[in-house]
Amino acid sequence: MDKFMITFNYSNGSWARMLDVTDDRTSAVAALLECFGGKMEAMYWDVEDSAAHVICGLPDSLSAKAAITAATKTGGFKDVHLHQLLTQDQLGSVVALAKNASGIFHPPGALRDDDC
């Protein structure tokens, strides 16, 4: 299962409703993730930005996108950000793959090694 961090920036209207009716947003988000085959690990509230940060596992990026699309269609958020997270081992694989491509990509306007 892939790991993701989702940041939900609640709208002013959502905050107003939370002040009137206190409900467990953690349970609501967990249920949404489970609907897409995922599992919430933790949910944290940001003091500065009035946002919620969710660490979760989901089967793939399509499931993650579907989950945030389902959440954003409610209109309760100013914006939602999705970040796929990598373990140290996965980062090592990324670095190995990038090394294999050295010499292939060049910055715009730069001469390539085979250009002369």
pTM for the full predicted model: 0.81
Look at residue 40 and tell me if it is in a domain: yes
| Token pair 């596992």: residue | 57
* pLDDT recorded at residue 110: 75
Look at residue 38 and tell me if it is in a domain: yes
List the structure tokens of 87.
Answer: 């373990």
* pLDDT recorded at residue 113: 58
* pLDDT recorded at residue 35: 96
**Residue ranges in the chain modelled with pLDDT below 70:** 112-116
What's the total number of domains in the chain? 1
* pLDDT recorded at residue 90: 96
CB 7 within 8 A of CB 81: yes
Rounded to whole angstroms, how far apart are CA atoms 55 and 67?
13
* pLDDT recorded at residue 114: 57
| Token pair 């409703």: residue | 17
CATH number at residue 11: 3.30.70.1110
